[in-house]
Amino acid sequence: MEKKLARRRRLVLVPAPAQGHINPMMQLAKALHLKENLPVSDLKNLGPGRFLIKLAKECYVSFKELLGQLLVNEEIACVIYDEFMYFVEAAVEEFKLRNVILSTTSATAFVCRFVMCKLYAKDGLAQLKEEELVPELYPIRYKDLPSSVFASVECSVELFKNTCYKGTASSVIINTVRCLEISSFEWLQRELDIPVYPIGPLHMAVSAPRTSLLEENESCIEWLNKQKPSSVIYISLGSFTMMETKEVLEMASGLDSSNQHFLWVIRPGSVSGSEISEEELLKKMVTTDRGYIVKWAPQKQVLAHSAVRAFWSHCGWNSTLESLGEGVPMICRPFTTDQKGNARYLECVWKVGIQVEGKLERSAVEKAVKRLMVDEEGEEMKRRALSLKEKLKDSVLAQGSSHNSLDDFIKTL
């Protein structure tokens, strides 16, 4: 009897070429692979992500060719692409393939991108009063909308229009949790009018392979092992954020006068306006043994360490979820785009963060660190953070909201 060979079905996942986008996409790949037993697609690092619009134009043709080649021998069940890799939608549309958007930022960030495009189309953004609240988006102010320090408003709006375009996508999966941002989730669901599945935090749902683009310095864990429980503030500004030399100096001085122990990640090339290298600069500044500095840390391990009490962060969405997932309250110093909205939610909605706004001065650093590490206010934030941690843990367990959402999504494949 002739046995018919089963054709392998593939999922194609397309991450944006940046650390904060690759991590959740790899985690999703693992989650789907575990449940569906599909081979994890080859994921390719497409290079630096600063020129997303250009990238989209250039990748469209080669991606379409690649799909065409794959389709000769394979059945493609679905293409899941990062919202910023929107060129994928146009390419798969021609092959009539099922496609799904993965949003690696928060639901609120997605909503904010929509709103920013609408406001821009109506009267432009120039006349809006920065401090005022955006109607129906409490607590987001106009200044918290995801404008970028790396691009003009026109460029951001062009990009956002594309990322918000659902095209032929059959659904959107988001690395968030229903209970964290229910109103944004519902707004999005109404606006998009296709199923939206909040399935995060993905890093808590599965232990995905390590995806770090930079080498993690494990020595900081040994240093943390020597510290007292709940005594260290961890400082990291993600993979993009830049600091001026004078800000770094104010920060170091504020940390010094706060008398707290700290673990600080300073990426090579992340300090601008410095005549000397970061390493030399830091040797000069940090003379105390209360501080430890690395170029890149195993962040999830650091946040899970019992010595870590608080996180000074730029509030990238992954850092936010990783901190919430470990019950670590935050000092929020957003730098650009969605980080501003995340910081607002941390401070005003979840009430587990303190935002430091305006010029970074040593006194402000000292004050914020003490509020979180020493004061009763910080204790309350810690308690709230721990309670949120439990909610997030529950969401990815059997019958949890994100667990169910992932199952619902898988049923559609």
Q: Of 156, 339, 395, 402, which one interacts with ligand UDX (CB under 6 A)?
A: 339
Using CB under 6 A, which of the segments 53-61, 121-129, 149-157, 312-320 binds ligand UDX?
A: 312-320
Q: Of 240, 292, 350, 409, which one interacts with ligand UDX (CB under 6 A)?
A: 240
Of the pair 185, 317, the CB lying nearest ligand UDX is at 317
Using CB under 6 A, which of the segments 177-185, 295-303, 347-355, 357-365 binds ligand UDX?
A: 295-303
In whole angstroms, how far apart are CA 225 and each of 29, 70, 302, 304, 384?
A: 32, 49, 10, 12, 25
Q: Of 181, 256, 322, 347, which one interacts with ligand UDX (CB under 6 A)?
A: 322
Based on the shown chain and the rule CB under 6 A, indicate whether residue 212 belongs to the binding site for ligand UDX. Answer: yes
Burial class (CB in 10 A: 0-12, 13-18, 19+), 403: middle
243 φ, ψ (degrees, to nearest 5): -130, 145
Q: Which residue has the tokens 């910081």?
A: 343
Cα angle value 102/108/110 (rounded, 5°): 45
Of the pair 261, 340, the CB lying nearest ligand UDX is at 340
Using CB under 6 A, which of the segments 86-94, 333-341, 355-363, 404-412 binds ligand UDX?
A: 333-341
Based on the shown chain and the rule CB under 6 A, indicate whether residue 23 belongs to the binding site for ligand UDX. Answer: yes
Binding track over 246-265 against ligand UDX, x by CB under 6 A: -------------------x
DSSP classification of residue 31? H
Binding track over 79-118 against ligand UDX, x by CB under 6 A: --------------------------x-------------
At 345, list the tokens. 């939610």
Per DSSP, what are the bridge partners of residue 141?
133
- Number of residues in contact with ligand UDX under rule CB under 6 A: 24
Based on the shown chain and the rule CB under 6 A, indicate whether residue 176 belongs to the binding site for ligand UDX. Answer: no
Rounded Cα distance, 366 and 254, in Å: 5
* CA-only gyration radius of the chain, Å: 22
In whole angstroms, how far apart are CA 62 and each of 25, 65, 314?
A: 21, 5, 35
- The phi-psi region of residue 315 (left if phi > 0; otherwise alpha if psi is between -120 and 50; otherwise beta) is left
Ranges assigned E (strand) in 126-193: 171-174
Chain residues in the site for ligand UDX (CB under 6 A): 18-21, 23, 105, 212, 236, 238-240, 265, 296-297, 299-300, 316-319, 322, 337-339
